[in-house]
């Protein structure tokens, strides 16, 4: 499938009182990788809106394996795993030096017609075309 990767160095302000990355900040790391993946598809959030669709996240799953710490270099990989009926993306947050998995995650987004807020039961043709163009 199609993947994209971003690098992040954990900033001090992302830490909690236990000196590890606060759990909610991992969602922001996923967002950075998801945006890189959508850019690779040439279907960024502004492009989605231009195409007449919104893609809210309807499910988010996170598995914290090991904590990330201040100054740690991370690799965040987003991989498209499903696109025909929904946009499902799997994530891995890795220690950049060792490759050790720190976090596993998955998001699911559904297409909604922007004008009517109607839920689409299938992914719109614009997404299918962009995915197929990258796979070709």
pTM: 0.95
> How far is 123 from 101, CA to CA, in rounded Å?
31
pLDDT in the model for residue 90 = 98
In this structure, the number of other CB atoms found within 10 A of the CB of residue 64 comes to 15
**Per residue in 40-55, pLDDT tens?**
999 999 999 999 999 9
Proportion of the chain above pLDDT 90, given as a percent:
99
Nearest to 71 by CA among 15, 16, 26, 30: 15
The number of C-alpha atoms within 13 Å of 51 and in the hemisphere containing its C-beta is 20
**Per residue in 106-124, pLDDT tens?**
999 999 999 999 999 999 9
Query: Which domains, and CATH codes, for the chain?
Result: 3-135 (3.10.129.10)
- Residue 1 reports pLDDT greater than 90: no
Q: What is the mean pLDDT of the chain?
A: 97
Region 23-30: mean pLDDT is: 97
> How far is 67 from 101, CA to CA, in rounded Å?
10
**Per residue in 59-103, pLDDT tens?**
999 999 999 999 999 999 999 999 999 999 999 999 999 999 999
């Amino acid at each position: 499938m199609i993947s994209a990767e971003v690098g992040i160095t954990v900033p001090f302000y992302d830490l909690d009182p236990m000196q590890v990355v606060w759990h909610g900040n991992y969602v922001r790391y996923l967002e950075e990788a998801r945006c890189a993946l959508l850019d690779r598809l040439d279907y960024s959030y502004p492009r989605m809106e231009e195409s007449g669709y919104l893609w809210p996240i309807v499910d988010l799953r996170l598995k914290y394996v090991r904590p990330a710490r201040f100054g740690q270099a991370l690799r965040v990989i987003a991989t498209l795993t499903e696109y025909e009926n929904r946009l499902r993306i799997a994530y891995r947050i890795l220690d950049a030096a060792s490759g050790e998995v720190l976090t596993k995650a998955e998001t699911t987004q559904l297409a909604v017609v922007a004008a009517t807020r109607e839920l689409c039961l299938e992914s719109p043709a614009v997404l299918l075309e962009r995915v197929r163009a990258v796979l070709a």
